[in-house]
Chains A and B, each alone.
Chain A
Amino acid sequence: MGGKVTCTLGEVKNRADFIVYWGGNPAECHPRHFTKYTLMQKSPFLPRGRKDRTMVLVDIRETKSAKASNIFLQVRPGKDFELITLLRAMIKDQPISEAQVAETGLTIEQLQDFVSRMKAAKYGVFFFGMGLSMTRGKHMNSAALLTLAAEMNAFTKFVAMPMRGHGNVTGADVIMRWQTGYPFGISFNRGYPRYNPGEFSTVDVLVRGDTDCAFIIGADPGATMPQPAIDHLAKVPTIVLDPHVTHTSKLARVHITTAPAGISAPGTAYRMDEIPLPLRPALKSPYPSDEEVVRRIKEALLEKPDWMGERPQMLQNQI
């Protein structure tokens, strides 16, 4: 298991005749997804647009997205992994039991219909949201669905993509990867990147009180993180760069107002499919961009003596 079989959103627009949203509510959370990419668009391969496409929603409750779908599969909460595992068995004609099916809250007929539709598709796609990736099973659920998509390629073309949001989170992930090899949860405290989600992720570092300073750019952990993490942010010198005064700004020692990216600061944003889009500012801002502030702080830090002291240039084997 592992890896990811995916595509750019234009491929979905052009080719996907079978679209599954799993554990997400695009109608309310990604309201342009249907119209721009998945359902309403026509293409040379799908000339009738919506009529040429089938949409399935798999979720624990009937959200507004269910109205947009052709088929709604209401999975029992916390049983996504079991359902995916059954589907992986069924596509390969492996035996499953009635009891196993019953556990998922669905019927064997529903599952058989789903499997035959997946196999009949010319180009199938799974979009999965936090209802899959952040509920019981977490990354194991995501891995299972990615594996189902990979295995479906033995029968037809199938891909999967996480429904990411929150501004340019994909851009941060992409750049961290090329600079450090890792997407997030990175520690530089030995002078080179190390990765361990659960240990070096922001929330864990804060809750343990392992940091004596915090520098927050374009995020508001003061509004979303657990209380012990917020308490630690209030305790140490916290510096916030944001166009707005946020919850985090209020507990920070320093808040620097910056120009909003894409409105009055240029840059690049990476879409959920990792396609980079240029940001062209429409307005002027009296405030500096995040980039300018960070660059000036970096220049000021260079004036300070090197605190790390003697160390080798390179370690052949990491310690």
Chain B
Amino acid sequence: MLRITGGTIYDPANGINGEVRDLYVEDGKFVSSFTGGRTIDATGLVIFPGGVDVHTHVAGGSINFARAMTPEDHRRTQAFIRSQTRRSGLGGMAPTTFATGYLYAGMGFTTVNEAAVPVLSARHTHEEMADIPIVDKSCLVLMANNEIMLDLLEAGEYERAKHIVAWHVWAAKAYGVKAVNPGGVAAWKWGKDANQLSEPVEGYKNTTPGSIVTSLAKIIDELGLPHPIHLHCNNLGAPGNITTTLETMKHLEGHRAHMAHLQYHAYGGDDWDTMKSESAQLAEYFNAHPNMTTDAGAVLFGDTVTITADGPWQHLLYKLTGRKWGNLDVENETGCGIVPYSYRPSNLVNAVQWATGLELLLLIDDPWRVFLSTDHPNGACFWRYPEIVQLLMCADFRKECMAGLPPEIMNRITLPEINREYTLYEIATIMSAGPARALGLQQKGNLGIGKDADMVIYHSDKDIARMFGHPRYVIKRGEIVIEEGDIRETPDGSEYLVKPSFDPGTDEFLRPLFEDRYCMSFENYPVEMERIERPDLQQCITTE
């Protein structure tokens, strides 16, 4: 039992904006009151619900590929030293699993969503997630380039495709569906891409990226997955891709959708020399369409490693940078590409990207629909979120940073004209309550009675980055896990799954198709339930 008294509470899920209240925790949940138990005096301190990351890459084949490719970064980064009860680890661009848990918890995040998992290596992803301590986890299965599903859509067999999607969600023991560059990753298997939403995908006659997007969004709504289609649009990172992004959004009308890392999809111009931010245009459309949520995919200057299922984009980035290139094509399902990258303020393209991420966060008016993310590790590492919070809360600090950018950037961005400053209440929304709601995790991002007692207690500090980077306490399900920068406990988190319903005949339908395309036994393909450590099965929902 734990009582936290006198803290100033920001709990957007319950409309509580900076009120002094006491919180009571029993058996890992908030309760209305009790007597006795330990008390933390939080007078003068600020209390948020634990952070929720809606889009990150922390476990599985692709981040592990990135770890292999960046030993030079492991050597220069921070090291966590083992104790008798705590495992060692390394931070940096692609942190090790144990360090991932420590670093997330260390800045007050208690739930993370791994955004990209192929079924074929989902067993690996779950093994890694079991080694990420403290935080609760979920993951999304990659579907938009699954050729068995694409063939069904091509043949007009929508209902069958729906069963196939549901079957794959359960086979991967996933929580939702991710779509990456629909059709483009499949085309990359032949060294091609899919740039036009209305042009057939390489190898198909009728199926276009646009039709894949609409079908998948509809399937996911009809299956009632708590989290909508999680979409990485076509043409990521390319100058002028605003057209594709807006067109994609039109394909989603009438459906729920989460647009991943929108910053990478908000560019105007014709080439790298003329590239500019189109965040104002994008935000205007987005503001008028409440069916969508998004995460920023913000960029911070510095070194990182980019990881995406978007294989063709990574080939382009390798050609642009001449740096290391990792690529992995996964049979029938997807692929992934890895390229280390340094975002530099002196580079005009990078400077535009930096501004675009912040502009989207500032120009989208509803904090319940835009969330804090860097698409870790693509735009920056997740442990740099406090720097973004500072940029959002302090217009003067933004101006200071902008002074260091090349002067020719000013007609390419709108950031200098934006004076909005986020409030603590809005930060709590984009960092916790909003992403929890978008994920459909009702126990999270909420300090209400009966909810999971995940919270973070900050010193009130004028130095915003320091405030959010160094919480006084982090509490996970009622247990103090971080206290003044020290790791106290490393409990194991749960894993959220859903089991959408599908025709029991799907196995027998899939088996021959599987045996044609894959090279393992069909029985070995789905991840067995007993391999998930601490599973927490969530219910599907009814959507309109």
Q: Which residues of A contact B (CB under 8 A)?
A: 1-11, 13-15, 36-37, 41, 43-44, 122-123, 150, 153-154, 156-157, 159, 174-175, 177-183, 188, 190-195, 268, 270, 274-278, 302, 306, 308, 311-318
CA distance A273 to B325 in the complex (A): 17
Residues of A within 8 A of B92 (CB): 181
Beyond known contacts A178-B59, A315-B79: 5 more, CB 8 A cutoff: A7-B329, A191-B82, A192-B81, A277-B524, A318-B77
- Whether A3 and B324, one on each chain, are in contact in the complex, defined by CB atoms closer than 8 angstroms, is yes
Residues of A within 8 A of B534 (CB): none
- Whether A181 and B80, one on each chain, are in contact in the complex, defined by CB atoms closer than 8 angstroms, is no
Chain B residues numbered 63-106 whose CB sits less than 8 Å from any CB in chain A: 64-65, 67-69, 71, 74-84, 87-90, 92, 94, 96-98
- Whether A7 and B330, one on each chain, are in contact in the complex, defined by CB atoms closer than 8 angstroms, is yes
- Whether A5 and B520, one on each chain, are in contact in the complex, defined by CB atoms closer than 8 angstroms, is no
Among B37-45, B119-127, B234-242, the stretch in contact with A: B119-127
- Whether A9 and B519, one on each chain, are in contact in the complex, defined by CB atoms closer than 8 angstroms, is yes
- Whether A179 and B78, one on each chain, are in contact in the complex, defined by CB atoms closer than 8 angstroms, is no
- Whether A43 and B82, one on each chain, are in contact in the complex, defined by CB atoms closer than 8 angstroms, is no
- Whether B80 and A159, one on each chain, are in contact in the complex, defined by CB atoms closer than 8 angstroms, is no
- Whether A277 and B520, one on each chain, are in contact in the complex, defined by CB atoms closer than 8 angstroms, is yes
Most chain B CB inside 10 Å of its own CB: which residue of A10, A41, A159: A10
CB distance from A308 to the nearest CB of B (A): 8
CA distance A191 to B90 in the complex (A): 11
Residues of B within 8 A of A43 (CB): 516-517
Q: Identify 12 residue pairs between A and B in the complex whose beta-carbon atoms are under 8 Å apart, listed by A's number.
A: A3-B318, A3-B327, A5-B325, A8-B330, A10-B120, A10-B331, A37-B519, A159-B329, A181-B90, A191-B81, A268-B127, A317-B78
Chain B residues numbered 121-167 whose CB sits less than 8 Å from any CB in chain A: 121, 123-124, 127-128, 131
- Whether A6 and B77, one on each chain, are in contact in the complex, defined by CB atoms closer than 8 angstroms, is no
- Whether B528 and A192, one on each chain, are in contact in the complex, defined by CB atoms closer than 8 angstroms, is no
Question: Which partner residue on chain A sits nearest B63 by CB separation?
Answer: A178
- Whether B84 and A153, one on each chain, are in contact in the complex, defined by CB atoms closer than 8 angstroms, is no
Chain B residues numbered 170-199 whose CB sits less than 8 Å from any CB in chain A: 189-191
- Whether B328 and A6, one on each chain, are in contact in the complex, defined by CB atoms closer than 8 angstroms, is yes
CA distance A306 to B90 in the complex (A): 22
**A178-B67 contact, Cβ under 8 Å, with A192-B79, A306-B83:** yes
Question: Which partner residue on chain A sits nearest B103 by CB separation?
Answer: A314
Residues of A within 8 A of B79 (CB): 192-193, 314-315, 318
CA distance A268 to B330 in the complex (A): 19
- Whether B74 and A182, one on each chain, are in contact in the complex, defined by CB atoms closer than 8 angstroms, is yes
**A10-B123 contact, Cβ under 8 Å, with A2-B324, A3-B338:** no
Question: Which partner residue on chain A sits nearest B527 by CB separation?
Answer: A278
CA distance A236 to B486 in the complex (A): 38
Main secondary structure of the interface of B (DSSP, over half): mixed
CA distance A208 to B83 in the complex (A): 27
Question: Which partner residue on chain B sits nearest A274 by CB separation?
Answer: B61
Q: Is B332 an interface residue (CB 8 A)?
A: yes
Residues of B within 8 A of A179 (CB): 87, 89, 96-98, 131
Most chain A CB inside 10 Å of its own CB: which residue of B90, B518, B524: B90
- Whether A178 and B131, one on each chain, are in contact in the complex, defined by CB atoms closer than 8 angstroms, is yes
CA distance A44 to B329 in the complex (A): 17
Residues of B within 8 A of A306 (CB): 83-84
CA distance A176 to B37 in the complex (A): 42
- Whether A181 and B96, one on each chain, are in contact in the complex, defined by CB atoms closer than 8 angstroms, is yes
Residue from A14, A192, A314 in contact with B331 in the complex, judged by beta carbons closer than 8 Å: A14
CA distance A83 to B186 in the complex (A): 33
Question: Which partner residue on chain A sits nearest B486 by CB separation?
Answer: A313
- Whether B517 and A6, one on each chain, are in contact in the complex, defined by CB atoms closer than 8 angstroms, is no
Q: Which residues of B contact A (CB under 8 A)?
A: 59, 61, 64-65, 67-69, 71, 74-84, 87-90, 92, 94, 96-98, 120-121, 123-124, 127-128, 131, 189-191, 315, 318-319, 323-332, 335, 338-339, 486-487, 516-520, 524, 528, 531
Residue from B89, B326, B330 in contact with A192 in the complex, judged by beta carbons closer than 8 Å: B89
**A177-B64 contact, Cβ under 8 Å, with A9-B519, A191-B81:** yes
10 closest Cβ pairs, A-B complex: A10-B331, A2-B324, A3-B324, A192-B79, A7-B329, A191-B81, A181-B74, A157-B191, A5-B327, A276-B123
CA distance A15 to B330 in the complex (A): 12
- Whether B328 and A153, one on each chain, are in contact in the complex, defined by CB atoms closer than 8 angstroms, is no
- Whether A178 and B331, one on each chain, are in contact in the complex, defined by CB atoms closer than 8 angstroms, is no
Residues of B within 8 A of A3 (CB): 69, 318, 324-327, 338-339
- Whether A193 and B90, one on each chain, are in contact in the complex, defined by CB atoms closer than 8 angstroms, is yes
Most chain B CB inside 10 Å of its own CB: which residue of A174, A188, A314: A314
CB distance from B479 to the nearest CB of A (A): 17
CA distance A274 to B335 in the complex (A): 13
- Whether A278 and B75, one on each chain, are in contact in the complex, defined by CB atoms closer than 8 angstroms, is no
Residues of B within 8 A of A8 (CB): 120, 328-331, 519
Question: Which partner residue on chain A sits nearest B122 by CB separation?
Answer: A276
- Whether A315 and B78, one on each chain, are in contact in the complex, defined by CB atoms closer than 8 angstroms, is yes
Question: Which partner residue on chain B sits nearest A306 by CB separation?
Answer: B84
CA distance A270 to B59 in the complex (A): 16
- Whether A174 and B81, one on each chain, are in contact in the complex, defined by CB atoms closer than 8 angstroms, is no
Residue from A122, A178, A191, A275 in contact with B128 in the complex, judged by beta carbons closer than 8 Å: A178
Question: Which partner residue on chain B sits nearest A273 by CB separation?
Answer: B328
Question: Which partner residue on chain A sits nearest B530 by CB separation?
Answer: A266
Most chain A CB inside 10 Å of its own CB: which residue of B59, B77, B82, B338: B82
CB distance from A41 to the nearest CB of B (A): 8
**A195-B120 contact, Cβ under 8 Å, with A179-B97, A315-B79:** no
CB distance from B482 to the nearest CB of A (A): 11
Residues of A within 8 A of B89 (CB): 179-181, 192-193
- Whether B325 and A150, one on each chain, are in contact in the complex, defined by CB atoms closer than 8 angstroms, is yes
**A13-B519 contact, Cβ under 8 Å, with A5-B325, A195-B75:** yes
CA distance A191 to B79 in the complex (A): 9
- Whether A188 and B82, one on each chain, are in contact in the complex, defined by CB atoms closer than 8 angstroms, is yes
CB distance from A98 to the nearest CB of B (A): 30
Residues of B within 8 A of A308 (CB): 83
- Whether B189 and A178, one on each chain, are in contact in the complex, defined by CB atoms closer than 8 angstroms, is no
CA distance A25 to B519 in the complex (A): 21
Question: Which partner residue on chain A sits nearest B70 by CB separation?
Answer: A181
